[in-house]
Amino acid sequence: MKGKETGSIACSALAASRSISGVPLDPHALNQRRADQSALLVLQGIAINAFLALVKFAGGILGHTYALIADGAESTLDIFSSLLVWAGFRVAARPPDADHPYGHGKAEPLTGLAVAVFVFVMAGWIAVHAVREIITPHRGPDWWTLPLLAGVVITKMWFSRRMARQGEEAGSTTLGIEAMHHWSDAVTSAAAFVGIAVALIGGPGWEAADDWAALFACVVIAFNGFNMATRALGDVMDTAVPESFEREVRALALAVPGVLALDKVRMRKSGLSHLVDIQIRVEGELSVRAGHDIAHAVKDALVASVPHRISDVTVHVEPTK
């Protein structure tokens, strides 16, 4: 009798979890929506980079400052890295298929890793050309390049923060990396601003100050690239999720009627969502069907937790000892 009552509770929990908001749960559709929003933001970043590249090239050539020309070249190449990120989002949003039963989420951190490598290459490229400019006598920069650079820095910092917020909301590692990339561009431009200011204040003999500033910015960019690579590799290597996240998942599972205890809870990030492998303990006298219903209730409860961005759950049922 006890087993029948618990089985009834399990069926009620299952029905409730599957009727949240009266709409069938579709985590892959939610991932698609978040990926589309993220891809749109990346395209906006591409448009900003294209405009700023033109401004930097014009300012560098007319204002006689290599730091701005190098900055413009970096913005131009950033367009291609951002296109790679955009393509990564399009692939990551695809639902699971026969060849990829766990989905295509790994495309997202892989593109983030590619961007990190790209940042390293750009840091080296700028450094080489900055050294060449330092050892080559040249004319000093013009004063009007300072307000131009100030506008570039403000624009990049604003967009970096916007992209970082979107990355946190979408649970996207790659958007966070792109935000860091835009922040690196802001650092490069800020360094150029300082270097040009020093060259203008110092006068003759200080013409290479902006080139030294560009060289210093390369160190900052390379360090930022290391942080980008670390974040991307964490997702690729299935690094454990934060303990606070695991505690929330455990609390959600334990709240499902019929779940008496939990054993293992393992989670890994896949693109914009997480995959969960959880082991629950139920009353040993339950029928197979009742235990199956409780397992489904746990899965539906976790998938329904939209803020957690869980797309799939594997539930293992064990009897209490």
- Mean pLDDT on 264-284: 88
- Mean pLDDT on 128-136: 81
Tell me: pLDDT of 256 over 90: yes
For the chain, list the domains and their CATH numbers. Answer: 2-22+241-319 (3.30.70.1350), 27-236 (1.20.1510.10)
Tokens representing 175 are 């958007």
Which of the four pLDDT bands, split at 50, 70 and 90, describes residue 276?
very high
pLDDT at 20 (0 to 100) = 41
Cα-Cα end-to-end distance for the chain: 20
Which of the four pLDDT bands, split at 50, 70 and 90, describes residue 106?
confident
| CA–CA gap between residue 57 and residue 302 (Å, rounded) | 51
Which of the four pLDDT bands, split at 50, 70 and 90, describes residue 253?
very high
Tokens representing 11 are 């069926």
Whether the predicted model's global pTM rises above the 0.85 cut: no
Bridge partners for 279 per DSSP: 316
- Residues 139-163 have pLDDT tens digits of 767 788 888 889 989 998 999 999 8
Please indicate whether residue 266 or residue 87 has the higher confidence score (pLDDT).
Answer: 266
Tell me: pLDDT of 4 over 50: no
Q: β-pairing, 273-282 with 261-270? A: antiparallel
Residues sharing a CB contact under 8 Å with residue 262, sequence separation 6 or more, in sequence order: 250, 253, 254, 278, 279, 280, 281
Which of the four pLDDT bands, split at 50, 70 and 90, describes residue 298?
very high
- Mean pLDDT on 72-88: 79
- Mean pLDDT on 216-225: 79
The amino acid present at 230, given as its one-letter code, is: T
Q: Please give the mean pLDDT across all residues of the chain.
A: 80
Tokens representing 200 are 């203008």
pLDDT at 27 (0 to 100) = 65
| CA–CA gap between residue 61 and residue 54 (Å, rounded) | 11
- Mean pLDDT on 99-127: 82
pLDDT at 315 (0 to 100) = 95
Tell me: pLDDT of 117 over 70: yes
Which of the four pLDDT bands, split at 50, 70 and 90, describes residue 261?
very high
Tell me: pLDDT of 219 over 50: yes
pLDDT at 238 (0 to 100) = 81
Which of the four pLDDT bands, split at 50, 70 and 90, describes residue 94?
confident
